[in-house]
A and B are shown apart, each in its own frame.
Chain A
């Protein structure tokens, strides 16, 4: 009998990498594939059941189910598979579906769309998606076609708990429903929430609200507490497996009895009029923001290219980003530019040993916190201890299994990142602090110089901020700072860097962008921020900002770039504030 072939770790790693590439390509084609499924399904619903288009739909689903699962898209694949099985039963029996079957297939369709939306959130890491683009939302029209007719209209006018079709029970992260008898109470919140990326809709009729929920589940319902008087049972339940839609209450007063009433009705938050939009958005963000963590960056220092290839493919297959180096003497450049979360290093290399390299890295203040993990065939404990003593954080044996390597590296990278985040972030806003903003600026500059790239450095300063603090107090001032921080994070791309540069000064680094485009984007932020109403007790006020923008390579080094942005900011202030000025002329802009 022939022995099964021995497993070759390099070939396995290459296969994994190959599959990852096929998967990536497949993900890129997925939107188009789902569009053809949507089209086929809509045609069936709108023009009536016919076997030939139904069979075409079946084939598309069949392919999605089989290929998707093989490539690890298990959820999408299982929904496609459910739908496919329903279809094949009908097709094999040459039957036309009943209304119930149509609804069930509509649910399959909704689930598939939702699985895709979530899938795309999972795989969008590092993409250039602009936050202004709304995520694709399953069209409402075709879903309403298959919704049960007015299941929510109870004869006595009393609302019955609404059972959502499970397909729709996944909330849309941007939708918020506002419910009050007097629309004037909530209407003003719509544009305010809009500045922070939430699509708010107002309802004064419970049945309208319920119907809307049927079509698209909001992230939360914000309701005036007085609506409890006529609609007490309207807590919106999904099927047992899905949670109740989070509800927040608005009230004229904060007295205990009303708060208790809100708690008993399942309220997760309670706000008094006039509503502080900043706090409301904070609560909505708590429910929605699940920022995709950036992949861990691992620097591999190893003289054997074969070993590098294995570690690279293994770590990349686990979603990490790697850079490798065969010559340890070249470590300084990747250390600064690649900014690794962790260094994986061979102990024995020609030229100098890993232990020496570790000692050199540790001599520099900025890199004291980066974990260094040694890889070696060394089994002797005393050598391992020496390695640790010289600045290594851990010692892994070269015969380590793939899974063990992945977990050892990712758990240390995670801790190192958390630790470094606490050192590099501003406590109030969570943005980068001054030092780390400047470090990022230096880094981006070096990268752009080497790649002949371009990027933008902008400085933003709040207008008359001292007056805000003096008039309304520092806690109000802090909230204003937080609101701008939040707005910048929401309106800029995830790849852009936002820092708090000083008291009321912010810095933004926008990658791969020219000055004109960046100025447009920042001007949009300026307009939105100026329209945003800040609150302090019973007072309402607006704060504006001024902004200076400078672009590399128009300005060629970090010092010149930040001076140009600062001068442009100064001009914005001098020209009357509340504006964005782009530095365009290196000769005059840099004059003091």
Chain B
């Protein structure tokens, strides 16, 4: 059974970057790679080979959905679970994210204290789904 080990975080806000990195590294023990833009993520993701991607929706340059499409097109990342990090969580937004193939959504503001645990729980459900 695969273990959640490496997480790629794509987020333009430096403070959120710092919080997510701290929370995931410290309380989750994960290896975290942070990218500030979608371009950076597309460039660095294949080398890093993350188990999971946490992707901000609203970013300058290419936004979350466009980044998602580009990442999905990369052969190594076709099945990597992608989770959106966003403040826009109206039902119609969620509908749209689901249509894009997003596995889960973490709403901003989030609780940094439980972020690692939340991702771990999400991961274990994907794992079971894959096993089944």
Contact = CB atoms under 8 A, between A and B. Distances in A.
B74 interface: no
Interface string B22-41: 11001111000000000000
B87 A62 contact: yes
Contact of A69 (B1, B23, B109): B109
7 contacts: A2-B1, A2-B3, A2-B120, A4-B120, A15-B22, A19-B22, A70-B110
A71 B14 CA distance: 13
Contacts of B27: 5, 7-8, 11-12, 15
Contacts of A81: 87
A161 B124 CA distance: 61
B121 interface: yes
B contact patch SS: helix
Contacts of B80: none
Interface of A: 1-2, 4-5, 7-8, 11-12, 14-16, 18-19, 22, 25-26, 59, 62-63, 65-71, 77, 81
Nearest to A2: B124
B116 interface: yes
B20 to A, nearest CB: 9
Interface string B1-28: 1011000000001011011001100111
Interface of B: 1, 3-4, 13, 15-16, 18-19, 22-23, 26-29, 58, 60, 87, 108-110, 112-113, 116-117, 120-121, 123-124, 127-128
A265 B28 CA distance: 62
A5 B29 CA distance: 9
Given A1-B128, A2-B124, A12-B113, A66 B26 contact: no
Given A14-B26, A65-B87, A69-B109, A4 B117 contact: yes
A69 B108 contact: yes
B127 A2 contact: yes
A18 B22 contact: yes
A7 B58 CA distance: 32
Nearest to A22: B18
B16 A15 contact: no
Nearest to A62: B58
Most chain-A CB neighbours within 10 Å: which of B4, B18, B121, B127? B18
A28 to B, nearest CB: 11
A22 B22 contact: yes
A19 B60 contact: no
Contacts of B110: 70
Contact of B124 (A1, A15, A62, A69): A1
B112 A19 contact: yes
Given A62-B58, A66-B87, A5 B28 contact: yes
Contacts of A19: 19, 22, 112
Contact of A16 (B60, B113, B117): B113
A7 B116 CA distance: 10
Contacts of B3: 2
Contacts of B19: 19, 22, 70-71
A213 B84 CA distance: 46
Contacts of B124: 1-2, 4
Contact of A70 (B1, B112, B128): B112
A67 B15 contact: yes
B112 A2 contact: no
B120 A66 contact: no
A12 B109 CA distance: 19
B50 to A, nearest CB: 17
Contacts of A1: 124, 127-128
Contacts of A65: 87, 108
Given A22-B15, A66-B87, A67-B13, A5 B116 contact: yes
B132 to A, nearest CB: 11
Contacts of A69: 108-109
